[in-house]
Structure 1
Amino acid sequence: MFRMIVFATCLTLTAIPVVNGVEHWTRFRGEDGNSVARDNANLPTRWNTTENVRWAIDLPGWGWSCPIVWGDKVFLTTVVSDEQNLAPSKGLYLGQGVRDPGKGIHHWLVYCFDLNTGQEIWKREAHTGAPQIPRHPKSTYAAETATTDGERLYVLFGDVGLYCYDLDGEMLWSRDIEPRKTFMDYGAAASPVVHDGQVFVVYDNLEKSWIASFDAKTGKELWKQNRNETHSWATPLVWQNEQRTEIVVPGKKFNRSYSLAGDLLWEFDGQMSNLVIPSPMSAHGMCYIASGYVGDSHRPTFAIKPGASGNITPEGDYTDSEFIEWYQGTSSSYNPSQTIYGDYLYTLYDQGFLTCHDARTGEQVYGKKRFSPSGSFTASPFAYNGYLFCLSEDGLTYVIKAGEDFEIVARNELDELCIACPAVVGDKVLIRTASKLYCLSEGSKLDSAMAAQLKPRRSSTPSNDIWAAATAGDNAAIKRFLDGGVAVNAKQGRGGATPLRNAILHNHPDSARLLMKRGADVTLSGPDGNTPLHLAAFFGDESLVKRLMEKGANAKTENSKGETALDIVSKEWDSQLESTYQNVGRSLNRKFDLRRLQKVRPQIASFMEKSASSARDDSEASR
């Protein structure tokens, strides 16, 4: 029987720093990297764009860095361009999307706002110039969250530099960072952390990865270690355990821990997923490390005990290691970091599922609960007052009762793209959306004068991106683009994906029909050689297959593997094919009904064969 949570006891142990009775939120996901706040009766469980909103302000430019708080000051970063560029947009891109450097001169900005009023206290421009690296279509040039020790503010723009200010905005020192090529142009994203006079920065990339320590007062480099890593973006954890303080950094090849002097303490091969994004956290005397790329079958979570030394990779099972308390092989998410609240570890999956495990033992409390059928998630969960909060990319926050039983108690809409993790201090929740910063507090209502000054919210579908509209199934946006002169067969970036292909890939048949009605070429293939008919057949959409063939799609056209749409749908059903559907479903944020597919595939194959035979008969009759 699993332990019941006694929140009043457990949450008094939450590592929220308190100085002179004032709470602070000093880094990405809070002091211990766990996004758990102290209980407060005036923290809200319900809100929208006006209700329980103490204040809201417009933010210029673009950034997914999270707000941090010291005392009555809120710090945030953004990047503004002199020219219009493609806006970041939601979803899983799987290698698609334009990745050109932003046009025009950019301004890397640091803001300080008053926590109680939202008024700007100061603004500083850390860097000015043209971007030197491409930008992933979902990301921004302000991805890293700042950190503070209460004396100084440390701001990292990972592909530009590290900047230090006092809390009144005076620049104290800066360090340039040489930009490096990253996998799929994701850019830098790991946030800095500060501890005991040192600022720690990790920059894993495809060229020369490293971890370094800088003197917090002067910016002098204290030490630097090269890292044989390429595919990781996790923010490091300063793990203060019963034996020592260490810097824990996950990696695709090895999970590692360093001393405060930069010496390697321990490492192990966790066979991590292809992309390592979730950040480690500490609770119950242990450190938790995870990774879960959607296309990988191994998506592990490890609970590590203190005191390890050297290579602790076991020869057999992971739990054979005396320093790995428990291990789960398929219990991690892709983008969101996990949250430990009381005795329970919660995993929020990008596709809108939640699982719960006992944080001390790894035993499953409940399996995947789907609470958001269509929304996707990047921000990590946060918790307080006995509730877990899951913020979707659409700005919809699901409030879920913490504990053994899964229960949704509220859904709160901000109706705008959200990627950043919120900050929680005292009786206030700070949520950054695509264009705004909201301060939420129970019993507040947004002042009508302040509301009138706010600019319109930005659509989560960029105003110039028909491919994102097709991916999202946003028919109104598709019509607007086409009416505005965007080509219905426009190809996206080097991959050459068309809007029709994106609509079919992401299960929006109505959008596909709209595009065909507006003249989409049903014979165009993507980078893998698959035509829209290949995709519709594979996904078992019989109605769409018929419509595509009516429009001239050829069931005998071969893809880059030499397979026709008829070949794909005629394959014998077996465990390997089931596994293929499961892997594709994870990659595309789709859930397939395997029984239905097993039944409908022969029907689609039969239709294709009859159509091909009828076409041959018509051709012969016309001779």
Structure 2
Amino acid sequence: MRLTLASLLLLAIPSGVDAAEWARFRGPDGDGVSPDSKPVPTEWSETKNLRWTAELPGPGLSSPVVHGDRVFLTSWTGYAAGEGSSDNIDDLKRALVCIDRNSGETIWTKEVAAVQPEEPFRGMFAENGYASHTPVTDGERVFAFFGKTGVIAFDMDGEKLWQASVGVGDGMMGWGTSSSPVLYKGMVIITAAAESKSIIALDQKNGEEVWKQEADSLAGTWSTPILVEGPEGPELVLAVPYEIWGINPDTGKLRWYCESVDSNSACASPVVKDGVVYFVGGRDGGSIAVKIGGKGDVSDSHVVWRERHRARIGSPVAHGDNLYWVANGVANCIRLADGAEVYQERLNSGSGGGRGRGQDYSSMVAADGKLFFVNRGGTCFVLALGDDFEQLAANRFDSDGGQYSATPAIVDGQIFIRSSDRLYCVEQAVEAGG
């Protein structure tokens, strides 16, 4: 751990963490929008607005989640984990890490041996790795999805409660697996796309299967579903190749589906605002807005608009009247009502350069009237929300040359940013005597 002068000043400030929560991928509602009203820093570095930094036990692409005074994230160790690690895949382990939100100290790390045979770390799989699913917590338990190794529940002290397999298949494209778990009514819902082409609900208390639905279409999704309130009750909304699905989360049964983006893969997650689902596709482009609800095929009855916008891997943010995302270093903003372009502007990484690492995996988040996006090379762009493109800052931790593919978490004015090697807590420093 490394503390700066600003960090020492911040440690004396009450953080009010009791009610803090960013407990799943992309925050409370899975849409990347922080409900907190506290100011969030616009600029930071190793010497400015950095509360603490924590070294991680191994690499990973999973995003941090926060509950109260604890931060959780996953890594892998033992094999293909950097300098000094083994070249024997049998040494692979997955790890769940718990970090103290106030100090950055590691409270506990729990490692689990990988179920073998696992996919070797090479080709496109190496762009993803073995720890890409973001964990989820209900404040009593933490649930980590480790692909073939299964779903594992821990209590808040790191004691393993149960472990359940959801399949041991390989992804059809050799890209690995990444869809993150969500919680609903005492269940943890897993999109086991590569593992078994299934969506599976497990009992949070014991890991027993509550329901399971299989479909070949799931083989091509890396998207994380979202829970929304539909006209007929709660719906689990998921993007899959060529379609968007509305599923009854109590039973797993399909309520409605809509023809969507013409692509054999779905990586970004959908977002919902005011009863409308928005999804922007990747490799071949395509975007859609569709009203939630209905029965069966709603491709003709519920579509609000279709366009050809392209988003690649990251998921968008719906805020105010607009939908925002970044693709290939370009900030995009369109109108929610009709999909019309508001702006499309290239981001400026500044004199430090972009430290490009291939296409970006992180998703945009919003808080305090601002948008935050971390590219794979470690530059975090801060943009103003609104119709006019305004880049407020381009921040970097120059001493960390790791890969940045995780989506930031924002809680009580703090931003948690994960590289492959470290976790950072950024918070507005209060000057001495201020």
1:109 to 92, 95, 99: 95
Match of 1:190 among 172, 176, 179: 179
Choose from 153, 161, 166 the match for 1:164. Answer: 153
| The one of 96, 105, 119 aligned to 1:133 | 119
Q: 1:139-184 CA distances to partner (integer Å, 9 max, x unpaired)?
A: 1201100011222211101221100112222222110233212133
Name the structure 2 match of 1:423. 409
Tell me which of 261, 270, 277 is aligned to 1:287: 277
Query: How far apart are the structure 1 equivalents of 2:17 and 2:42?
Result: 27
Of structures 1 and 2, the one with the larger relative CO (CA 8 A, separation 6+) is 2
**Equivalent position of 1:269 in the other structure:** 259
* Aligned counterpart for 2:335 among listed residues 338, 350, 358: 358
Q: Contact 1:149/1:195 (CA < 8 Å) preserved in 2?
A: no
Determine the structure 1 residue equivalent to 2:372: 389
Q: Which is worse superposed, 169-178 or 48-57?
A: 169-178
- Correspondence 1:340 to 2:307: no
Residues 326-475 of structure 1 correspond to what in structure 2 (within 5 A)?
326-328=305-307, 330-349=308-327, 351-371=328-348, 375=356, 376-415=359-398, 416=401, 417-443=403-429
* Equivalent residue number for residue 490 of structure 1: none
In structure 2, the CA distance between the partners of 1:118 and 1:220, relative to structure 1 (3 Å rule), is: same
Q: Out of 123, 129, 138, which is 2:109 matched to? A: 123
Q: 1-side partners of 2:38 and 2:240: how far apart?
A: 39
Change over 3 Å in CA distance of 1:32–1:102 after alignment to 2: farther
Q: Give 1:555's aligned residue.
A: none
Query: Residue 325 of structure 1 corresponds to which residue in structure 2?
Result: 304
Change (3 A) 1:208 1:177: closer
Within 5 Å, give how 1:305-320 maps onto structure 2: 305-313=291-299
> 1:442 is paired with a residue of what secondary structure?
coil
The change in CA–CA distance for 1:444 and 1:391 in structure 2 (over 3 A counts) is farther
8 Å Cα contact 2:21-2:68 kept in structure 1:
yes
Cα distance in 2 for residues equivalent to 1:199 and 1:244: 18
CA distance in 2, matches of 1:245, 1:221: 20
In structure 2, relative to structure 1, the CA distance for the partners of 1:63 and 1:83 (3 Å cut) is: closer
Deviation of residue 126 (structure 1)? 2.9
Aligned partners of 2:189, 2:393: CA distance in 1, in Å?
A: 38
Q: Per residue, is there more strand in 1 or in 2?
A: 2
Change (3 A) 1:327 1:253: closer
The answer to whether 1:179 aligns with 2:168 is yes
1:52 aligns with 2:35: no
- Gaps in structure 2 of 5+ consecutive residues: 1-15
Per-residue Cα deviation, 1:379-429 (whole angstroms, up to 9, x for no partner): 111111211112111111111111111111111012432000011110211
Partner of 1:245: 234
Aligned-partner Cα distance in 2 for 1:129–1:182: 15
- The equivalent position to 1:301 in structure 2, one of 274, 278, 287, is 287
Q: Deviations over 1:538-557 (max 9, x none)?
A: xxxxxxxxxxxxxxxxxxxx
Report the equivalent of 1:38.
35
> What RMSD in Å do the two structures reach over aligned CA positions?
2.4
Question: Aligned residues: percent identity?
Answer: 32
Counterpart in the other structure of 1:521? none
Contact 2:380–2:394 (Cα < 8 Å) also in 1:
yes
Does 1:221 pair with 2:209?
yes
Q: 2:12 matched to which residue of 1?
A: none
Which protein shows a greater Rg? 1
Deviations 1:239-261 (A, max 9, x none): 22354101111111432121021
Match of 1:557 in 2: none
Q: Deviations over 1:211-257 (max 9, x none)?
A: 11111112110111111212210011112235410111111143212
Shift of 1:102: 6.0
Please say if residues 71 and 100 of structure 2, whose CA atoms lie closer than 8 Å, have aligned partners that are also in contact: yes
Cα pair 2:416 2:424 within 8 Å, conserved: yes
Aligned equivalent of 1:66: 63
Q: Is the 8 A contact 1:134 1:185 kept in 2?
A: no
Alpha-carbon distance in structure 1 between the residues aligned to 2:375 and 2:216: 34
Conservation of the 8 A alpha-carbon contact between 2:246 and 2:292? no
> In the alignment, which residue of structure 2 is the partner of 1:25?
22
DSSP 3-state at the match of 2:173: helix
- Give yes or no for contact 1:27–1:146 (8 Å, CA) kept in 2: yes
> Which structure 2 residues correspond to residues 569-608 of structure 1 after superposition, within 5 A?
none
Cα deviations by residue, 1:417-447 (Å, 9 ceiling, x for unpaired): 20000111102110001211000000179xx
Return 5+ residue gaps in structure 1 as ranges: 1-18, 88-100, 314-320, 446-623
**Is this contact kept in 2: 1:84–1:103, CA < 8 A?**
no
Partner Cα separation in structure 1 for residue 138 and residue 174 of structure 2:
31
Classify 1:289/1:82 alpha carbon distance in 2 versus 1 (closer, same or farther; 3 Å): closer
How much does 1:198 deviate?
1.2
Give the deviation of 1:104 after TM superposition: 4.5
Mapping for residues 518-537 of structure 1, pairs under 5 Å: none
Counting matched residue pairs gives 400
Specify which structure has the higher proportion of helix.
Answer: 1
Q: Which residue of 1 aligns with 2:4?
A: none
* 3-state secondary structure, aligned to 2:153: strand
- The match for 1:143 is 132
Amino acid at match of 1:409: L
| Aligned-partner SS, 1:132 | coil
For residues 98 and 81 of structure 2, what CA distance do their matches in structure 1 show? 25
190, 194, 198: which one aligns with 1:210: 198
Q: Distance in 2 between matches of 1:28 and 1:409?
A: 25
Q: TM-score, normalised by structure 2?
A: 0.86
Instruction: Write the distance in 2 (CA, Å) between the matches of 1:408 and 1:433.
Output: 22
CA contact (8 A) 2:135 2:145 kept: yes
Distance 1:46 1:310 in 2: 48
Aligned residue in 2 for 1:201: 190
CA distance change for structure 1 residues 370 and 128 in 2, over 3 Å: closer, same or farther? closer
Q: C-alpha distance in 1, partners of 2:361/2:88?
A: 23
Answer with 265-274 or 150-159: which moved more: 265-274
**Displacement, 1:363?**
2.4
The amino acid of 2:407's aligned partner reads: C
Change (3 A) 1:211 1:443: same
Contact kept? 1:53, 1:444, Cα under 8 Å = no
